[in-house]
Amino acid sequence: MRPLRAQVSISELYAKAGREAEGIVRVVVVDCPVGVHIHEIVGVARTRRTEPPKSGGTRAVVLVLDFAIPGGIIGVLRLFVLLVRVSVGNATENLELREEEKVIRPELHPATNSLSMGEVVRAVSDATHHEAVLVTDVGQNQMISARYFKYTKERSIITSGGLGTMGFGLPAAIGATFGAPERTVCVFMGDGGLQMNIQELGTIMEQKAPVKIICLNNNYLGNVRQWQAMFFNRRYSFTPMLNPDYMKVASAYDIPSKRVFTREELKEAIAEMLATDGPFLLEACVVEEGNVLPMTPPGGSVNQMLLEC
């Protein structure tokens, strides 16, 4: 992937830096990827200089500029922050557009008939008017639900974040129903993670905890599979899952459930899940080899972020 171009409008910077100069800072604005060195301050001079740089208004690839800035070293620091903000802003704007086109739109509106993880998450979020509590397990389901679930209330997400231990989601969701009994609690789980603490369905049954369990079933330990696909030539080792029949499992615990494959089924099943008093297991059979993007490759920097596999 080509590095992002960090582009800076010099006149804008100069206007913000102001004309009441006390010091001059020489700034090298480098066409450098976000996350590495965007700027390097190579020296601070004491001479007065207030005229704008000749290249005012242009967008620079590499520029060495003498800026007259107010406030001595504090001013230098302020300008530095400003420079970083402007150029990161420009670069991320490009990134956001590309991300929208390459990642978000295809995830939320897939061209294929198979359900994507993202569209299932967004459909549940929409149906709860973005007022539900989101609990996540660990894996692709976690990143996708954190990305595409929306919130309108504070205290709305429970996730193990980087301390990801599969199996976290189900007991955490039970806790959330006790902590926020007036709210709908939706937990997104993978088919792998659901089995890690599957005995907690017993607690749900016993406590009648109204957990809405959405299992994004891709028949894989998807997070690991994605790495094997992207960095190990699709050598899938111990990631394909032979899943139990989750409908039978749910019924054994007296928990109502639905398995869906299509968009129409999904819509109806979500409505049924939310209309059901108490717990519900919704198994959404999603595209098996779906990926979570953007992704920073191992050992890479954020400027090498991948938007496609």
The binding site for ligand TPP (CB under 6 A) comprises: 138-141, 164-167, 190-193, 196, 216, 218, 220-224
Report the distance separating Cα 226 and Cα 239, nearest Å. 10
CB of 166 to ligand TPP, least distance (A): 4
Type and span of the H or E element at 146: helix 140-148
DSSP 262-294: SHHHHHHHHHHHHHSSS-EEEEEEB-TT----S
Segment interacting with Mg ion, rule: CB under 5 A, options 66-74, 85-93, 186-194, 272-280: 186-194
As a dihedral over the C-alpha atoms of residue 143, residue 148, residue 150, residue 154, rounded to 10 degrees, the angle is: 10
CB of 172 to ligand TPP, least distance (A): 14
CB of 271 to ligand TPP, least distance (A): 24
Segment interacting with Mg ion, rule: CB under 5 A, options 67-75, 144-152, 220-228, 272-280: 220-228
Instruction: State which residue, 67 or 188, has the beta carbon closest to Mg ion.
Output: 188
Instruction: State which residue, 274 or 287, has the beta carbon closest to Mg ion.
Output: 287
Return the one option of Mg ion, ligand TPP, none that residue 223 interacts with (CB less than 5 to 8 A, by type).
ligand TPP
Sheet of 62-69: strand order equals 39-45, 23-30, 62-69
Segment interacting with Mg ion, rule: CB under 5 A, options 12-20, 46-54, 184-192, 279-287: 184-192
Let me know how long the chain is: 309
Report the distance separating Cα 169 and Cα 165, nearest Å. 9
Instruction: State which residue, 165 or 207, has the beta carbon closest to ligand TPP.
Output: 165
Type and span of the H or E element at 65: strand 62-69
CB of 248 to ligand TPP, least distance (A): 19
Residue number of the CB atom closest to Mg ion: 190
Report the distance separating Cα 190 and Cα 214, nearest Å. 9
Instruction: State which residue, 25 or 201, has the beta carbon closest to ligand TPP.
Output: 201
Report the distance separating Cα 69 and Cα 46, nearest Å. 11
Type and span of the H or E element at 30: strand 23-30
CB of 72 to Mg ion, least distance (A): 57
Q: Is 118 in the site for Mg ion (CB under 5 A)?
A: no
The DSSP secondary-structure symbol of 220 reads B
Applying CB under 5 A, which of residues 218, 226, 257, 303 lies at the interface with Mg ion? 218
Instruction: State which residue, 68 or 249, has the beta carbon closest to ligand TPP.
Output: 249
Applying CB under 5 A, which of residues 53, 75, 167, 190 lies at the interface with Mg ion? 190
Residues 6+ apart with CB under 8 A from 293: 102, 103, 306, 307, 308, 309
Report the distance separating Cα 135 and Cα 208, nearest Å. 18
Return the one option of Mg ion, ligand TPP, none that residue 193 interacts with (CB less than 5 to 8 A, by type).
ligand TPP
Instruction: State which residue, 125 or 243, has the beta carbon closest to ligand TPP.
Output: 243
Report the distance separating Cα 107 and Cα 115, nearest Å. 9
Type and span of the H or E element at 283: strand 280-285
CB of 295 to Mg ion, least distance (A): 17
Give first-to-last CA distance, the chain, whole Å: 11
Instruction: State which residue, 29 or 284, has the beta carbon closest to ligand TPP.
Output: 284
Answer whether the bond into residue 294 is a cis peptide, omega within 30°.
yes
Segment interacting with Mg ion, rule: CB under 5 A, options 37-45, 88-96, 129-137, 190-198: 190-198
- Which residues in this chain contact Mg ion in the complex, by CB under 5 A? 190-192, 218, 220, 222
